[in-house]
Amino acid sequence: MAGVRKSSGASESRGIVYQFPGGRVRVAPAAPAEGRDSAGVTPAAREMGQAHGVVEGAPEIRAERVRALKEQIANGTYRPGPREVARAIAKHGL
């Protein structure tokens, strides 16, 4: 592509002009003018922010429970009940 240039002036409605070798020209229509730029937060980003807040606000009791379970497993004293195992499988799946 030999050159790409934006049309000059806001009043000109030609859009973007593409000039190719050999004198070929292509004009892409200009996007309608909104008057101002804007930015926003998507609903997915908002949901991720809320989830992050929940995780950050969770107590550290869970970490202590994991440590205790790891210790029981290492010692060979961890004996989960069959109903507890079945309930966890049904809740979380495999």
Of 30 and 72, which is predicted with more confidence? Answer: 72
Pairing, β 3-6 against β 25-28 = unpaired
Structure tokens at 14: 């030609």
Write the single-letter amino acid at 28: A
Write out pLDDT tens, residues 14-46.
667 777 777 777 777 766 666 677 788 888 899
Residue 66 lies inside a defined structural domain of this protein:
yes
Instruction: Output the average pLDDT for the chain.
Output: 79
Q: Is residue 15 part of a domain?
A: no
Per DSSP, 10 falls in state S
Q: How many domains does the chain have?
A: 1
| Whole-structure pTM value | 0.31
Average the pLDDT over 58-84 and give the result: 89
| 79 in any annotated domain | yes
Instruction: Spell out the alpha helix ranges (H) of 1-94.
Output: 43-57, 61-75, 82-92
Residue 89 lies in a domain: yes
Task: Say yes or no to pLDDT of 4 above 60.
Answer: no
- As a whole number of angstroms, the distance between CA 10 and CA 8 comes to 7
Residues of the domain holding 91: 59-94
